[in-house]
Amino acid sequence: MAVSTATVSTQQARNPLWLYTRKFDLRFISLSVVMVAAPYLVYLMLLNMEALLFPLTTALGTTADDLSRNFVNASVALLVGGPHMYATWTRTGLDRDFAHKHRRFLTVGLVIPVIVTVLALFNLPLLLTIFFFWASIHVLHQIIYITSLYNERQKTGQRFDLSRFSRLSDYAVILTALYPLAAWKIANNSFAIGSNNLSEMVDQILGIVGLSSGSWMWILAGGAFLIALTVWIAKTIAEHRQGTLHRPKTLFIAVTVTASFFVPALGNLDTAFQGMNVWHSFQYLALTWMLIHIRNQRGELKNSPFVEKMSDDNKSARKYYAFNIGLTIADVGLALVIFVILWQVVKMPFDAAFDRGYYIAVLSFLWMHYYQDHFLFVHPEVIDTKGTI
């Protein structure tokens, strides 16, 4: 994945390996990994309040576990998950130059809400299986994108030269870390998201090609990760000894691999993966604002005054976040309308109606976000660190 190189500014020369600044990278890219634990801790706290929640769960016809899970899902969607998926549009549909150049690409994406609605109503397990597989690919693609940007940073005015082996070893450990424990749960028929056991759906999909889930899955996934991790550690030690170790990137990969490996071990996978979603979304919001801010500094947003106003200085980041929060609230309203129709008109049970209303409203826009980002991540913009945060 190639990223072209821009002229090095004075700021960049002082901090050549950071994407923007040391403070920005540590706060928003790497050390924000601590956020992964937040959704699960909130979920456990609410479960411990089961007695207090009993009147509410009784009135809604649900359980403390489902209420806690849905509360975490809704909170994450409102605060970061929703805003991050709408932020994509500041680089695509709201950027008039991009929209004009890639009109057909954006138009094709409009079929996604139709697909999501049909699957949510008639085959929710399949929708969730596709969602979690695509979500994992998307998260990993973002991590590789950030890693690629780090690889293109410069050191003391000269290109930071990395071999293909070094780059591939980074990508290999990133791509394999998430799957060993997830594969183990699938093999043991315990990969459940809420009330939906996706292990059975995975088994049905494997059956199409004459396979079935079993121990071979986690052995294969675990073996691939063990090899990738061993090679990456050896490569990292060698680069350290040679004086070519890229420390910001190495820190980013280390915390990412650690979180990716252990998150699937948690009990409630729906809430556990929300932890990865919080971190991923927080990263994405910061990274996307940084990109449009840099483009604004170069005068590249003159044809898109709305986006320009949200990226003209550091204070404009609040406008950027508020705009994305506003769109998220509108989507929550849409989800509630769909939920009420399914619950009161179609007479679906509360939990089933809530899940379908949530997934139709959220996944329609989330999948368009995935679709657009796969394009953006393979057409990365030049990073030039002008100014500070």
Q: What is the DSSP secondary structure assignment for residue 163, as one 8-state letter?
A: -
| pLDDT per residue rounded down to tens, the chain (389 residues) | 434 333 333 344 345 688 888 999 999 999 999 999 999 999 999 888 878 877 887 777 778 888 888 889 888 988 999 899 999 999 999 999 999 999 999 999 999 999 999 999 988 888 988 888 898 899 999 999 999 888 877 544 444 456 888 889 999 999 999 999 999 998 888 887 766 777 877 888 888 888 888 889 999 999 999 999 999 999 999 999 988 889 999 999 999 999 999 999 888 888 888 999 999 999 999 999 988 988 888 888 999 999 999 988 778 888 999 999 999 999 989 999 999 999 998 888 888 888 889 889 989 999 999 999 999 998 755 554 443 33
Say if 353 falls within a structural domain.
yes
Which runs of E-coded beta strand occur in the chain?
A: 154-155, 158-159, 192-193, 196-197
- Total residues belonging to the chain: 389
Q: How far apart are CA 245 and CA 235, in angstroms?
A: 9
Q: pTM, whole model, 2 decimals?
A: 0.83
Q: Identify whether 361 is part of a domain.
A: yes
Q: Are 364 and 370 in contact (CB under 8 A)?
A: no
Query: Exposed, middle or buried by CB within 10 Å (0-12, 13-18, 19+), for 78?
Result: middle
The Cα–Cα gap between 23 and 246 comes to 17
Answer whether residue 348 is part of any domain: yes
Domain count, the chain: 1
In a domain, 122, yes or no: yes
Domain that holds residue 346: 10-376
Dihedral sign, Cα of residue 270, residue 275, residue 279, residue 281: positive
C-alpha pair distances (Å), 112 with each of 3, 28, 145, 171, 365? 29, 30, 24, 29, 8
Q: How many CB atoms lie within 10 A of CB 287?
A: 21
Establish if 389 belongs to a structural domain.
Answer: no
Collapsed DSSP state (helix, strand, coil) of residue 158: strand
Q: Where are the alpha helices (DSSP H) in 30-163?
A: 38-47, 50-60, 64-76, 82-87, 96-101, 103-108, 112-122, 124-151
- Burial string for 129-148 (b: 16+ CB within 10 Å, else e) reads bbbbebbbebbbbbbbbbbb
Cα–Cα nearest to 169, from 144, 134, 142, 141: 144
Q: Let me know if residue 347 belongs to a domain.
A: yes
Is 147 among the domain residues? yes
Angstrom CA distances, 372 to 92, 109, 150, 388, stand at 8, 8, 22, 28
Helices (H), 50-95: 50-60, 64-76, 82-87
Token pair for 360: 């139709």
Domain-located, residue 72: yes
